[in-house]
């Protein structure tokens, strides 16, 4: 029995012949490896491969039966592009590989930290098909964005300038300069303290401060700052709460360690001044109590500076009153954080006694003696020969005292006030006749 070719089923028409694809246009007709080429033609449905000469494209997209886009693989010279599908292989169409060398015009930014890791955008021409980006001799990871742009991650490097290059099938570009910046350090502040209101000028010293982009006091940005040199910045602190905050300078190389502190000082406050009065001649030792006193730079009695003062602690300052005119003045303490509230301190004139009435009495005492004079309002004691007497201040010029018992004979009577002690007036204890 002989075998015969199968016949078409009854009623079926003849099978349509398979037609190989054709390419009519290649756009662009030339370019570097990696360029995307658009092929226009017919019969592209089901295409399985695209060859540039003998090399297959590793990336292509069939958009329709008449359009394909393909990425040119590595190659040189002029080659024939062919398309292969279920119906066969197309005609060939010329594609010419160009060897234009890449060019970099700008890196942005043009500097960064020695630790690397920052993204650098390289702009130029003929960057398609980039195969390598190097910072000096060190390869960087990169992404080819377009024929005019590549983004690269700067690798770590030593402080200083290096040449950045891009390599494509067209060659290696000339280098552009990228500078690795040493990490900034902050070593000191002058002054290292100020008021909670801020606004004063602070000089920051350190290294590698050139190009500083920010200065922060704690979490708040400096009101303003000026880079004076690579080792100095002038900054104005913002307002802040009392206490210590780290000062941090940020540069393109990163931020300083935050191990230098600025102290916002609490405003000084006074709660007491003891004693609250003294002689116009001054020299009275006055204990000032309060808070925020540890950085005191001055103590004033009215407008006059204290004769001397000693900071004992944050809550106490010992001061010596200067000479002053009779009357009350405000005592204040001055610190870098400001001037305290004022407490009254009264300068008292030296008291004077002009008469005693009577100026004699029995040794048993008990009689009332009227003392007349001036400056007696603040009398703290009346003494009969050094012996305290009960007394009452009636006015600035009159005191009544009860004479204490004592031996017969004369004694000096004095009145003591914060302004001093009067000169004594004689008072005589007279024994009764016959005793």
- Whole-angstrom CA distances from 418 to 169, 280, 306, 307, 380 are 100, 9, 18, 18, 8
**By CB neighbour count within 10 A (0-12 exposed, 13-18 middle, 19+ buried), where does 422 fall?**
buried
Phi then psi dihedrals of residue 170, to 5 deg? -85, -5
End-to-end CA distance of the chain: 185
What's the pLDDT tens digit per position in 58-97?
999 999 999 999 999 988 889 999 999 999 999 999 998 8
Provide the CATH number for the domain formed by 269-348 in this structure.
Answer: 2.60.40.10
pLDDT above 90 covers a percentage of the chain that reads 77
Which residue reads 């393109």 in tokens?
Answer: 252
Q: What is the mean pLDDT of residues 108-134?
A: 92
Say if CB 172 and CB 131 are below 8 A apart: no
pLDDT recorded at residue 432: 74
Q: What is the mean pLDDT of residues 96-104?
A: 85
Quickly count: other Cβ atoms within 10 Å of residue 7's Cβ. Answer: 7
Residue 11: pLDDT over 60: no
For the chain, helix (H) and strand (E) counts, in that order, are 0, 48
pLDDT at 161 over 70: yes
Structure confidence at residue 16 (pLDDT): 54
Are both 22-97 and 269-348 of the same fold?
A: yes
Instruction: State the virtual CA torsion across 125, 126, 128, 130 in degrees, nearest 10.
Output: -90
As to burial, measured by CB atoms within 10 angstroms (0-12 exposed, 13-18 middle, 19+ buried), residue 153 is: middle
Phi and psi torsions of 199, nearest 5°: 95, -15
SS3 3: coil
The strand pair at 327-335 and 360-361 is best described as unpaired
Residue 317, token pair as written in the block: 């300052």
Residue 10 has pLDDT above 60, yes or no: no
CATH of 352-429 given 3.30.428.10, 2.60.40.10, 2.60.120.10, 1.10.10.10: 2.60.40.10
Other CB atoms within 10 Å distance of the CB of residue 28? 13
Residue 17 has pLDDT above 80, yes or no: no
The stretch 206-223 carries a mean pLDDT of: 95
Task: State whether the Cα torsion 195-196-200-204 is positive or negative.
Answer: positive
DSSP letter, residue 22:
E
**pLDDT averaged over the chain?**
91
Kindly indicate whether the domain formed by 103-181 is annotated with CATH number 2.60.40.10. Answer: yes
CA distances from 323 to 260, 305, 339, 408 (A): 44, 10, 22, 41
CA atoms of 69 and 62, how far apart (whole Å): 7
For domain 185-265, give its CATH number from 1.10.340.30, 3.30.300.180, 3.40.50.460, 2.60.40.10.
2.60.40.10
- Name which residue leads in pLDDT, 224 or 13: 224
What CATH architecture does domain 22-97 belong to?
Sandwich (2.60)
pLDDT, greater one: 9 or 302: 302
User: Per the confidence metrics, is the pTM higher than 0.85?
Assistant: no
Domain boundaries, the chain: 22-97, 103-181, 185-265, 269-348, 352-429
| Alpha carbon 57 to its chain's center | 56
């Amino acid at each position: 029995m002989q075998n015969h070719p199968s016949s078409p089923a009854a009623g079926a028409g003849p099978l349509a012949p398979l037609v190989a694809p054709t390419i009519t246009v290649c756009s662009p007709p030339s370019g570097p490896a990696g360029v995307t080429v658009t092929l226009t033609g017919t019969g592209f449905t089901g295409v399985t491969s695209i060859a540039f000469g003998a090399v297959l494209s590793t990336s292509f997209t069939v958009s329709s039966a008449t359009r394909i886009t393909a990425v040119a693989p590595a190659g040189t010279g002029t080659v024939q592009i062919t398309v292969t599908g279920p119906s066969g292989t197309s005609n060939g169409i010329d594609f010419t590989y160009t060897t234009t060398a890449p060019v970099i015009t700008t890196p942005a930014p043009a500097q960064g930290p020695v630790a690397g890791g920052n993204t650098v955008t390289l702009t130029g021409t003929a960057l398609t098909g980039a195969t390598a980006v190097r910072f000096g001799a060190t390869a960087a990871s990169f992404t080819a964005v377009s024929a005019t742009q590549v983004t690269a991650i700067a690798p770590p490097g030593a402080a200083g300038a290096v040449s950045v290059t891009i390599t494509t099938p067209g060659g290696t570009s000339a280098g552009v300069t990228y500078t690795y910046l040493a990490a900034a350090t902050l070593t000191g502040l002058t002054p290292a303290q100020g008021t909670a209101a801020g606004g004063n000028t602070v000089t920051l010293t350190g290294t590698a401060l050139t190009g500083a982009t920010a200065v922060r006091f704690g979490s708040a940005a400096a009101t303003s700052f000026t880079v004076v040199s690579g080792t100095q910045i002038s900054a104005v602190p913002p307002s802040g709460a009392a206490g210590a905050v780290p000062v941090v300078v940020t540069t393109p190389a990163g931020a300083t360690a935050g191990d230098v502190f600025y102290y916002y000082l609490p405003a000084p406050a006074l709660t007491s001044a003891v004693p609250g009065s003294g002689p116009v001649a001054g020299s009275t030792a006055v204990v000032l109590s309060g808070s925020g006193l540890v950085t005191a730079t001055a103590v004033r009695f009215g407008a006059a500076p204290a004769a001397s003062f000693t900071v004992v602690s944050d809550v106490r300052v010992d001061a010596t009153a200067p000479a002053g005119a009779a009357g009350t003045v405000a005592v204040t303490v001055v610190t870098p954080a400001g001037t305290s509230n004022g407490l009254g301190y009264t300068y008292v004139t030296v008291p004077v006694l002009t008469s005693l009435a009577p100026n004699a009495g029995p040794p048993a005492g008990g009689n009332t003696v009227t003392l007349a004079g001036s400056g007696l309002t603040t009398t703290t004691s009346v003494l009969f020969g050094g012996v305290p007497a009960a007394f009452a201040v009636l006015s600035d010029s009159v005191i009544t005292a009860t004479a204490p018992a004592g031996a017969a004979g004369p004694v000096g009577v004095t009145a003591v006030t914060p302004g001093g002690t009067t000169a004594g007036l004689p008072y005589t204890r007279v024994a009764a006749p016959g005793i």
